[in-house]
Amino acid sequence: DMSLNKILCGLPLFLPLPYSVELTEAEREVSESLLKSILQSWGKLKDATIATLQETFLWRPGRLSEEADRWELIVESRAYDILVEFIPWTISMIKLPWMEKRIEVTWKTKL
């Protein structure tokens, strides 16, 4: 259902999404550049691969719930979450200009 993706992109939750999307070469390059920048900026992961970043931090089970004034995202705990403390930016709150409600993110929690 990809609710988190829809919220991050400002799409209505009821909107059906295509099963897959074909990225252009330019979109692939921008995506790869962004992921490499994350690795370089996050000192503890500077020698990691993009696949490692995706598997350990981006593709994670979690629970998303809607509150009156915000969304709450609780990310399932993993042993390597100690590295989250070394991210040089905040990940506890997400609020993009097109989002109606902020997302409050909780890491290092057992579901």
> What's the number of domains the chain is made of?
1
63-69: long-range pairs with CB below 8 Å, 24+: 63/111, 64/3, 64/4, 64/7, 66/101, 69/101
Decide if 42 contacts 86 (C-beta within 8 A).
yes
Give the pair of three-digit tokens for residue 51.
């696949």
Write out residues in the chain with pLDDT < 70, as ranges: 108-111
CA distance 47 to 42: 10
Provide the 3-class DSSP secondary structure of residue 89: coil
Q: What percent of the chain has pLDDT over 70?
A: 96
CA distance 61 to 12: 22
Is the C-alpha dihedral spanning 20, 26, 27, 33 positive or negative? Answer: positive
> 95 is in which domain, residue-wise?
3-109
pTM: 0.83
Q: Give the pLDDT of residue 67.
A: 97
Q: Give the pLDDT of residue 1.
A: 80
Provide the 3-class DSSP secondary structure of residue 7: helix
CA distance 105 to 63: 10
